[in-house]
Structure 1
């Protein structure tokens, strides 16, 4: 088992307010978010991480108007996330899709989710977190020390940027492993149906239908 190397110089590009003009993603892009908390209605979106799977992470810092930024006015980022020809690879996409759709006013699709895939095929374990999957399937150790740090700060610390980048740098490799397992276990079609439902599941969550669950027989 290896320890994830610190991204080499130039592997992390921090962009304030939006992706730069001319930066394009084709085929697929790994996506993650950092927020002030886990309530999309209360907690603001602070950072969106993207990677083409090429060892480079692009981090878009969403800066509110009150702090001198442009807020959620980020047309280049919105264009990538809503592009129907670019598959967004996420881990726990249910939350990321919800916060992105709520904050940016877009539909995030198409999406695949490594956590849903893991739950469908790794039924021999309850370890479906990103760190556990990277360790078990890629031999990579991810540090989670910055997970609960202050992502709303105007000046993010280098260790925060490294942490945020690590959440997308390995998603392409992880998804490739998961896709093979889904095919092996005959659950690729079922997984795709789950992935296709994610934008609607996120809208239900935003409307408050996480509890009560409208699919439950209870009540």
Structure 2
């Protein structure tokens, strides 16, 4: 049985914070509910530190700014595993970005583990600890909480300090601690957590298949769905199912009568929103909408050779990573390759400086940035990759 302190009122939280002002490290994790909601609900905060084990109930203690001051302190090392989502919760709530971060999932990617590696696998391999995952799906909002739930939650922080010690030692031996610290710094940047309000529109595969008129309606539809979900604090899927969107766009293309007669669309949706959908389709386009539509990435099917060259370069990254024991998903996130395919002029900021340039080499990253100008020659006993001109 674990000995812990459960914090359920503001005074207890203030006392906790005062005890932790000068601790050198603090492991933490959160439990939350994001399903069927627009705004994720923070339900529990778990903390391990030299002071002991602690649970904080955010449903009982509404003002978490004292705890946030510890996350923002550069004097306390925060140890997490896959902490991005935990920090994002606090960023969306108060704009907080952490300082002095060590993430065990990121660190593991530099010392031979695939990224992202699961917490239970990392614990088994590094510490010989096997976690009980029977409460991985549970109602964290329900009160009172069961003792088994609390023990499960504490398992996520109890071993963080020992895991940090193991991975820190491996990073130092491999000469990669500075590289990992550069990657941890990303967690301290607001850009890590900011979300483009037009992200769903710009990333929609449907957008790339449609003509201008259908794109305009789809853009308006997605914006309305997001606004409605935010207003009701529903998931977007609860407002309008993703599977119904192509049928809705097709029906509007054929006119209002086709919308009313479409048997694939839920009648409840048509009855409630049919008139609004028709009005949405009939409005003249605005300048702002024209600008956004112009930013939608074009299909890359017209550049098959360029895509193949990018994939070849990515395979070379994977080969080098395998030899070095660094996860290719860290060295070259797949979204960068996708972005380069969509836009030949795309410049990935994370490739311009830092550890990736040290590891992969400046010349190779220049190849990647100018993949459209590379020439591949198959010779008798070798293959050459040359820059044209």
Of residues 328, 334, 341, the one that matches 1:218 is: 341
Task: Tell me, yes or no, if the aligned pair for 1:97 and 1:202 is still in contact at 8 Å.
Answer: no
| Structure 1 unaligned regions, length at least 5 | 1-5, 64-68
Q: Does 1:36 align with 2:33?
A: yes
8 Å contact kept, 2:8–2:61: no
| Counterpart selection for 1:48 from 41, 45, 48 | 45
Would you tell me which structure has more strand in proportion to its own residues? Answer: 1
* Structure 1 residue 206 displacement after superposition: 7.5
Unaligned runs of at least 5 residues, structure 2 = 204-334, 343-389
- Counterparts of 1:121 and 1:39, CA distance in 2: 37
Q: Indicate the larger mover: 112-121 or 102-111.
A: 102-111
Q: Does residue 16 of the first structure (1) align with residue 8 of the second (2)?
A: yes
TM-score relative to the length of structure 2: 0.48
Aligned to 1:3: none
| Whole-Å separation in 1 of the counterparts to 2:132 and 2:4 | 16
SS of the residue corresponding to residue 112 of structure 1 reads strand
Higher relative contact order (CA closer than 8 Å, sequence separation 6+): 1
Q: CA RMSD in A?
A: 2.7
More helix by percentage: 2
Q: Where in structure 2 are the equivalents of 1:1-219 lying within 5 Å?
A: 6-7=1-2, 11-18=3-10, 19-21=13-15, 22-25=18-21, 26-37=23-34, 42-53=39-50, 56-63=52-59, 69-71=60-62, 73-123=63-113, 128-200=117-189, 202-204=192-194, 213=335, 216-219=339-342
- Tell me the distance in 2 between the aligned counterparts of 1:115 and 1:42: 25
- 1:53–1:169 contact (8 Å) kept in structure 2: no
Tell me the distance in 1 between the aligned counterparts of 2:198 and 2:99: 21
Instruction: Provide the rounded CA distance (Å) in 2 between the counterparts of 1:39 and 1:112.
Output: 31
Deviates more, 1:157-166 or 1:100-109: 100-109
Moved over 4 A (4+): 38-41, 205-215
The secondary structure found in structure 1 opposite 2:99 is coil
- Aligned-pair distance for 1:95? 1.4
